[in-house]
Amino acid sequence: MAANARKVDRGMPPKACPVQRNPDGTWQINGYAEGRAFLREHDTVQAGLGVETVESFPQKIRRPVLYRDGPEHREHRKQTAKFFTPRRVDEAYRPVMERAAEQQIAVLRKGGPVHLADLSFQLAVDVAAAVIGLTESKPGIKNRLDYFFPEKFGSPGFTSLSGLYWAYRQVRGWGSLYFADVQPAVKVRRKHRQDDLISHLLDEGCTAAEILGECLTFAAAGMVTTREFIVMAAWHMFTDDELRAKYLASAEPERLLMLHEVLRLEPVLGHLKRRTTNEIKVGSEVVPSGAVVRIQIDHANLDTGTVGEEPLSLCPGRSMGPGGNPTGLSFGDGAHKCPGSHIAILETDVFLHKLFSVDGVRMVTAPRITFKDDIAGYELRGMQVAVD
């Protein structure tokens, strides 16, 4: 039996059970083909990633694109697709990635162990800010985002001291990002539009508060997840001399395939949730309207019918079955497929190639693993790296 190369143990998918109904009435999709087909269905809406909070907003406030569905959502994605094409990423954002990566490598070279999650987060913040248009921010945007996305979340409320604390913290986080980052960017772009997402949102008539919502959505999707993946990919290479040597000796296309395979094996989000708005046939099952469905990405990415034999091994460039993607379903699929996939993979490669090109770079301490249960997502903290 092939070795299990996963760093994060998420268990194995149920055998011969691509679609199942759980005792609590929810549905679960474990198969790759079934998950891909379901994510491409139009008769579903968002059922996770904090949608409950968004649904409490006044109706006059436009929802961030992550929480919209149907023709409005598809039109928005069509209009903003230009910001995320491979050519745009290469021509417009690669220089930002190179510069930001060099700055973080310089921090490493100063001596003493540094936390890789801090370096990767600053890199992700710099790149995402350029894409979004948060280029007039006051100093400290990384700290503000760290505050808004803490390692451990509490539940806001008004019936306990803990709830009051988290309600205060949430409002404070929104306020600091609005006044220090979003408002200055909006002010500049109201006078002179630029080629970025905030300018596009202003052209669509969005208010500054609605733009804040979009920025936070992109921050969660583009900054937080990329930070985790960079640390995960580095962890694999620090503990696999053959993989690291091959990565350093390869040209960019081959390096990207290695990163694709790491992401297939270690998806940052373990599942996605959708709610059906109509009856949908999935495989041999019929999911009723109004059902909450969890697409298990961590299981689907191990489906031998699509990813081939030895799904737990790290095999860059593996032969995939029909409909198979090198990253599995790690970026989702269908209307809500992550638009920034090219950005995430390229900035990871730019940074890691520079990191492992530093003579004497080593991992001082391995990361600790924690989970965010609502998305089955891992967080890796405590990995320290240093240069001999």
pLDDT for the residue 53: 59
Answer for the pair 65, 51: CB distance below 8 angstroms, yes or no.
no
Look-up: residue for tokens 């032969």?
319
pTM: 0.92
pLDDT for the residue 111: 80
C-alpha torsion sign, points 295, 297, 298, 300? positive
Residue 227: band (very low, low, confident or very high) from pLDDT cuts 50, 70, 90: very high
pLDDT for the residue 380: 94
Assess whether pLDDT exceeds 80 at residue 293: yes
Give the tens place of pLDDT for each residue, 154-169.
666 677 887 787 778 8
Domains in the chain, ordered, with CATH? 19-387 (1.10.630.10)
Find which of 70-74, 133-137, 163-167 is predicted with most confidence, using mean pLDDT.
Answer: 133-137
Answer for the pair 377, 371: CB distance below 8 angstroms, yes or no.
yes
Give the tens place of pLDDT for each residue, 247-273.
999 999 999 999 999 999 999 999 999
The sheet carrying 384-387 orders its strands as 114-115, 384-387, 361-365
Which whole number is the average pLDDT over 33-54? 82
Assess whether pLDDT exceeds 50 at residue 1: no
Assess whether pLDDT exceeds 70 at residue 57: no
| SS3 of residue 348 by DSSP | helix
Assess whether pLDDT exceeds 70 at residue 60: no
pLDDT for the residue 52: 57
DSSP secondary structure of 123-159: HHHHHHHHHHT--SPPS-HHHHHHHHS-SS-----SS
pLDDT for the residue 63: 72
Report d(CA 199, CA 218) in Å as an integer: 15
Answer for the pair 274, 380: CB distance below 8 angstroms, yes or no.
no
Write phi, then psi, for 77 (nearest 5 degrees). Answer: -65, -35
Closest C-alpha among 119, 114, 124, 123 to residue 363? 114
Assess whether pLDDT exceeds 70 at residue 87: yes
